[in-house]
Structure 1
Amino acid sequence: MALVGDIATEVGRKAGADRARVYSVTKYDGFVPSDEYFNKQVFSRDLSSYKLVDVGTFAYATIHLDEGSIGIAPETALISPMYTAFKINLSQVEPRYLIRLLKSPRALQAYSILGEGSANRRRSIPFKRLATLEVPVPDLNEQRRIADILDKADALRAKRREAMAHLDSLGQSIFHNMFGGVDMHELGSRLQFMTSGGRGWAKYYAAAGKRFIRSLDVQRDAIASGTDVFVIPPDSAEARRTAVRGGDVLLTITGSLIGRASAVPEALGDSYISQHVAILRSSMLEPRFLSGFLNSDSGQKQINSAQYGQTKPGLNFERIRRFRVPDAPMELQQKYANRVAAVERLKMKHNLQMTELDNLFLSLQDRAFKGVL
């Protein structure tokens, strides 16, 4: 065992007039070019106070290390003064081993003790605190063996994530191939019912009851689970108006999550919605087809152009009714729904395999840093 301070030294001088590419240090990908990560320039034009770090330097977000925001510079780079940088003694430590160790669940748990400050979400970990962390440091050959094993296991996870990302875009490709160039008609001419949720549902929250679907629950072509909220709905006309049925399509209509749509599975029928979500109900449009359209490039362009408001964007019912939807026969809509359902089954299989790979990786990490791998 050794203290981080015995194998590493804090570095990072001010850039001054020196120039290099600006990087951000992220939770999942470590060092990432800032302009690519944010798709725009978010850093200051005056870079003189930024830190200049050499290739191979470790850096971490001083107030987000407990989330795993740490990485190794792939080239000489500029980083924000908010990051802490350090170099390691390469005669003692293999970089690939140490970065795995410092991002492991074991290390993340230790960071909660090292943090300084009163605010739980803003507790900082300066290098003087990180330097007190005790870490296992076997001989270099063993470190490299462990790093090789973890790298190979992580590569399998990366390939699985790539496959899942391809499946995420496959539904949109299917929609475009089947309905691109088809004549369009106004959505309002095909809707039998449209409404949004009311206010004041918080007083009906309960540990169990009917599912209450918020805007953050509405994903693209999916209703999220895992952070479910429940209500005991009142016996009122307002509650009955906003009750969800299986086969409805939900669309987020206000806020930063505007424009996400999903068909409602039968299992979530008799749920209720917040004021930020609209119900679209139609017997003339297959739910997955309508959801697929709203999430397609064409649907999203119409949603973006129909929004009103700058600080809090929104969609009103009149503009939603004017959306132009492909005029496809029900048979073709159902064929699309069947294809998307097959993709969803494949995604579910990949998700299960991803969970197995994640669990395997966690097990390997745990054993590696206990010295029993």
Structure 2
Amino acid sequence: MSDKPKIGISIGDVNGIGLEIIIKTLADPKIYEYCTPIVYGHTKVASFHRRSTDIGELNFNVINHPSQVVIKRANMINCWEEDVRIEPGQVTADGGKYAYISLQRATDDLLNGDIDGLVTAPINKDNIQNEEFNFPGHTEYLQHRDSKPESLMFLVSDTLRVGVVTGHIPISKVSESITTEKIVEKLKLMNASLHDDFWIRKPKIAVLGLNPHASDNGLIGNEEKDTIIPAIEEARNNDVLAFGPYPADGFFANGTYLQFDAVLAMYHDQGLIPFKQIAFESGVNYTAGLSFVRTSPDHGTAYDIAGKNLASEISFREALFTALHIIRHRKETAELNENPLIFTKLSRDRD
């Protein structure tokens, strides 16, 4: 039996680009040197999408449980028996139904310890809604399944890491949702992830303001003075090296982000727009603060190019390798925490 991590892959919306980027990623034989992938879907659906690519052959080894994997092969768990109507580029009820079945089965195996990590292909946050999935997105669903009070949507790349205080909520509710306690909690999650998952010994975190110009000393709102600055001060009292608040526009425009290990934005678009502008193809969405490792590409279903062999697999491949790096780092951190002197030396070497 191989000691390479077993990585579960949920297929996302069957009418989007999920299976196309999965197939293109798994067509690279080098993948199997680092992990054993398990796709949660159905071989018939995969065959449909393979025919729309220029991939010659990618034969899945069909299994019923992760314990049956064949190493150096792409493994598939058929999560349903019925035929599925596939309509590339269309938003359909079936697209959401089978995306959820794939995600639920993969998450079950993840929580049972049968797989070592999960990479999720893009879902449509609307058509996936049902009685069991009543969440704004993957992040909130997985946090619920893991019974965690908080998690952190953490966008990561080689040059930039961005987390958000508030995630998938209406912009009209952002201000009322930001509290000192919530910012401190997100900073602690980010700091712990940078240390344990990315092996940064003393992370430096920049905190963005909420208002234009970070309020200009209260001229444009009070959130900075009343909420954000006290959170930064409390975080620093808890050994988190947090700085700010910084005006978001100039912070990214003049490259100040390069001076920090990560950035905490106040809301979704404040952080994700610059992140995707700077690191779109190489960016990865990581859910920090959970007991397991989950990553995804930093893009959506891309219905407009589904079925046209135009989708790039770069972000999905980066998501897969990011999951593998974090799994390894977590394992090493757990082992080395038993000997702090060795951990300090090794983490200093990696700084």
TM-score (norm 2): 0.28
Q: Which has the larger radius of gyration?
A: 1
User: Which structure dedicates a bigger proportion of its chain to strand?
Assistant: 1
TM-score (norm 1): 0.27
Which structure carries more relative contact order (alpha carbon 8 Å, separation 6+)?
2
